[in-house]
């Protein structure tokens, strides 16, 4: 395709991005034949394929936001492509600042290893081929739309970026697959410890991928909590990751697919079409989130194949296709890539309560994935019994727990790997009883009182929002831990909004600040200090 843009518009976006412009930018994508044009200054949904509003307040509150809406006058493929195009174009500078941060976390040297390039290229080619051959299959139709959106993202980015900031299609595919790579790197590089827990030491020079000794640390991603109230469900999520990749976005995308509007809002990062946190709110009144489970039994990686659909693609497909938790988990299990192996939680806010603080069947579904195996179940009965559901990087299903190698881990390292008795299980169990308001669940998700909390055992990593950087033993201190929280209730889900806070927890701790000792950690595009509060997201 050919793309026509006015040079001055490109200049405007570049300047605005460079100074973290805090004024909202409105834009419209137009299509004439195979030519797409972008106009800055107003949203013209009557004539355009898609419109967007972009607001970057990263330096003010930690968040950038983009809201994209397409027109039903155009076919679904054009809408998806335009949605990706306008995001790539408007957020180009954010993506460019973020990419080196994410690249460093992968632990590669200066270039992507050939083995990884081969696998990812084969996967992209296979996914495109399957989508093109199966256009009458609803699943592959939606996969095709995700690929169209990705193609638009690539084109929009490349059209906006100056020569010295160009990223290729495969580089942007790697970026979108950041979650998948947490498993694909150790699987494909055939190095069990070639993983994030050995590539986050703040003393490592950039790009160093040395393999350290196993010290029992498992720097997994995220904490999540669902709290049952009299006539509502509070849900929230705290992302864990390297502080070098805190760069936060909140995105909203609304497309018409087969004349039906499908909208989703989600916490994300620059260049990601999925959430990767993950935290989604959909127009079908589903709230979807996950926490990651490690794969210690690396023999499972033998089943990993490029002939599968990566996790980031499947999550978007499910959000578009499904109106129930059963559908979401069933659909997600198809073409399991064995990468980004998570416990997924799907709360259906459409289903009425049976009685005060008693939900009906199918309100809460979960799915757990490992290479070669998935298990899913309606756990609404567990929610009714406990009045909460918590998730903290340990599998719930016994088969997943055992197959993943957690029993062996528990023998070696104790209750830190026990589903019922690990520190976060105990802290969630204690703290959840205090939740009466949406603000309360936000406080629980920011909880870290390691100096006095007996369940933390004197370790700031043993908390709902970890702060590995605060460890007294500097040899085990990492710039890693909780980097945000997002919360919602029924009203918020209906409005496609959430409250969010960006940055490592400072609820009872000192705010995190980038200092000279962190000089080896790439963190482009971030504030110097994270001392922000909760704000409402997707309401600008």
Domain membership of residue 95 (yes or no) is: yes
Domain membership of residue 305 (yes or no) is: yes
**pLDDT for 133:** 93
3 state DSSP class of 371: coil
**pLDDT for 205:** 29
Give the DSSP per-residue string, 504-540.
S--SSSPPEE--GGGTTS--TT--SEE----EEES--
Average of per-residue pLDDT values in the chain? 92
**Mean pLDDT value across residues 336-356:** 98
Residue 234's CATH number: 3.60.60.30
348 confidence band (pLDDT: 50, 70, 90): very high
Judge residue 319's burial from the number of C-beta atoms within 10 Å of its C-beta, 0-12 exposed, 13-18 middle, 19 or more buried: buried
* Percent above pLDDT 70 for the chain: 91
Domain membership of residue 29 (yes or no) is: no
Q: What is the tens place of the pLDDT at every residue in 433-443?
A: 999 999 999 99
Q: What is the tens place of the pLDDT at every residue in 47-61?
A: 999 999 999 999 999
Total-model pTM: 0.93
Lowest mean pLDDT among 18-22, 49-53, 102-106, 350-354: 18-22
- Between CA 486 and CA 513 the distance in angstroms is 21
**Mean pLDDT value across residues 232-243:** 98
Q: What is the tens place of the pLDDT at every residue in 307-325?
A: 999 999 999 999 999 999 9
What element of type H or E holds 469? none
Domain membership of residue 62 (yes or no) is: no
**pLDDT for 539:** 82
Domain membership of residue 503 (yes or no) is: yes
Instruction: Check the CA dihedral 112-114-118-121 and report its sign.
Output: positive
Cis peptide before 183 (omega within 30 of 0): no
Domain membership of residue 58 (yes or no) is: no
Query: Which structure tokens are listed for 380?
Result: 């609404």
392 confidence band (pLDDT: 50, 70, 90): very high
Domain membership of residue 278 (yes or no) is: yes
**Mean pLDDT value across residues 131-135:** 90
- Between CA 57 and CA 153 the distance in angstroms is 22
Judge residue 471's burial from the number of C-beta atoms within 10 Å of its C-beta, 0-12 exposed, 13-18 middle, 19 or more buried: middle
Domain membership of residue 429 (yes or no) is: yes
**pLDDT for 527:** 98
Domain that holds residue 192: 74-540
**pLDDT for 220:** 81
Inter-CA distances, 491 with 236, 371, 441, Å: 14, 37, 15
**Mean pLDDT value across residues 3-7:** 36
- Determine the angle formed by the axes of helices 138-160 and 76-90, rounding to 10 degrees: 30
Do 235 and 440 touch, CB atoms closer than 8 A?
no
Provide the domain count of the chain. 1
């Amino acid at each position: 395709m050919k793309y026509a843009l006015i040079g001055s518009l490109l200049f405007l976006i570049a300047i605005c991005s460079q100074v973290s412009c805090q004024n909202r930018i409105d834009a419209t994508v137009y299509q004439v034949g195979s030519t797409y044009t972008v106009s800055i200054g107003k949203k013209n949904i009557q004539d355009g394929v898609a419109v967007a509003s972009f607001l970057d307040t990263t330096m003010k509150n930690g968040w950038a936001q983009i809201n994209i809406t397409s027109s039903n006058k155009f076919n679904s493929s054009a809408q998806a492509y335009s949605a990706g195009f306008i995001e790539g174009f408007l957020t180009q500078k954010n993506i460019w600042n973020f990419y080196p941060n994410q690249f460093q976390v992968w632990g590669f040297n200066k270039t992507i290893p050939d083995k990884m390039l081969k696998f990812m290229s084969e996967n992209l080619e296979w996914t495109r081929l399957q989508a093109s051959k199966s256009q009458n299959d609803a699943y592959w139709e939606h996969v095709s739309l995700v690929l169209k959106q990705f193609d638009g993202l690539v084109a929009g980015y490349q059209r906006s970026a100056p020569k010295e900031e160009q990223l290729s299609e495969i580089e942007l595919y790697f970026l979108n697959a950041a979650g998948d790579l947490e498993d694909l790197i150790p699987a494909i590089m055939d190095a069990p410890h070639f993983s994030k827990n050995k590539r986050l030491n703040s003393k490592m020079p950039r790009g160093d991928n040395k393999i350290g000794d196993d010290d029992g640390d498992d720097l997994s991603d995220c904490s999540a909590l669902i709290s049952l109230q009299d006539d509502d469900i509070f849900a929230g999520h705290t992302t864990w990751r390297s502080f070098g990749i805190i760069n936060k976005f909140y995105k909203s995308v609304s497309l018409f697919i087969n004349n039906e509007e499908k909208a989703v809002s989600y916490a994300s990062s620059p260049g990601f079409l999925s959430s990767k946190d993950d935290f989604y709110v959909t127009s079908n009144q589903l709230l979807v989130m996950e926490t990651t489970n490690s794969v210690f039994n690396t023999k499972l990686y033998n089943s990993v194949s490029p002939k599968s659909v990566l996790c980031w693609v499947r999550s978007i497909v499910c959000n578009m296709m499904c109106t129930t938790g059963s559908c979401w988990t069933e659909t997600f299990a198809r073409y399991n890539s064995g990468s980004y192996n998570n416990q997924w939680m799907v709360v259906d806010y459409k289903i009425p309560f049976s009685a005060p603080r008693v939900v009906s069947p199918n309100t809460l579904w979960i799915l757990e994935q490992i290479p070669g195996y998935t298990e899913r179940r309606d756990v609404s009965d567990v929610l009714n019994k406990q009045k909460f559901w918590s998730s903290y990087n340990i599998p719930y299903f016994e088969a997943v727990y055992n197959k993943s190698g957690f029993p062996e881990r528990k023998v070696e390292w104790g209750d830190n790997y026990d589903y019922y008795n690990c520190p976060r299980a105990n802290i969630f169990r204690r703290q959840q009883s205090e939740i009466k308001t949406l603000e309360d669940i936000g406080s629980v998700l920011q909880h870290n009182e390691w100096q006095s909390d007996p369940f933390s055992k004197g370790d700031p990593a043993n908390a709902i929002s970890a702060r590995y950087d605060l460890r007294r033993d500097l040899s085990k201190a990492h710039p890693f831990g909780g980097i945000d929280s997002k919360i919602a209730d029924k009203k918020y889900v209906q409005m496609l909004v959430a409250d969010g806070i960006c940055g490592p927890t400072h609820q009872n701790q000192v705010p995190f600040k980038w200092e000279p000792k962190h000089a080896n950690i790439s963190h482009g595009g971030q504030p110097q200090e994270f001392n922000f509060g909760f704000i409402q997201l997707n309401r600008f």
